[in-house]
Amino acid sequence: GAVVSQHPSWVICKSGTSVKIECRSLDFQATTMFWYRQFPKQSLMLMATSNEGSKATYEQGVEKDKFLINHASLTLSTLTVTSAHPEDSSFYICSARSGIGNEQFFGPGTRLTVL
């Protein structure tokens, strides 16, 4: 089956720094990638949808200047949390959808802890 990887799997950073998370589709081309956030013991909430080569579409309440998303190629999307604060600590999960089918494949997630 299709494989989606995320890097890093976990990261600890100081408040005020920026953190970049990568999401890669390893064996298929992803025309659309999604970024979700999951706080402890809560559900997954969609943050944004990104299509290759175009600007991401952010969900209501998600600051686009804080969560920068780049989908520069058909196999890579990045999420940069700028000037991270402790309240940004969360589990970030990406998913990727190929242009051929309608399956959405999830990455293993990245656990971000901001001190």
Partner 1 sequence: AQKVTQAQTEISVVEKEDVTLDCVYETRDTTYYLFWYKQPPSGELVFLIRRNSFDEQNEISGRYSWNFQKSTSSFNFTITASQVVDSAVYFCALSERPWGGAQKLVFGQGTRLTINP
DSSP β-bridge partners for residue 91: 38, 111
Chain contacts with partner 1 (rule: CB under 8 A): 32, 34, 41-46, 49, 57, 91, 93, 95, 97, 102-104, 106, 108-109, 111
Give the CA distances from residue 13 to residues 9, 10, 51, 84, 112, in Å, rounded to whole numbers and listed in that order.
13, 10, 28, 8, 8
Cβ 99 to partner 1 shortest distance, Å: 10
Minimum separation from the CB atom of position 109 to partner 1 (A): 5
Rounded distance between C-alpha atoms, residue 25 and residue 19, angstroms: 20
| Least distance in angstroms from the C-beta of 16 to partner 1 | 26
Q: In DSSP terms, which residues pair with 52 in a beta bridge?
A: none
CB of 87 to partner 1, least distance (A): 20
Q: Where are the alpha helices (DSSP H) in 1-115?
A: none
Bridge partners, residue 96, by sequence: 33, 105
Residue number, 80 or 91, with CB nearest to partner 1: 91
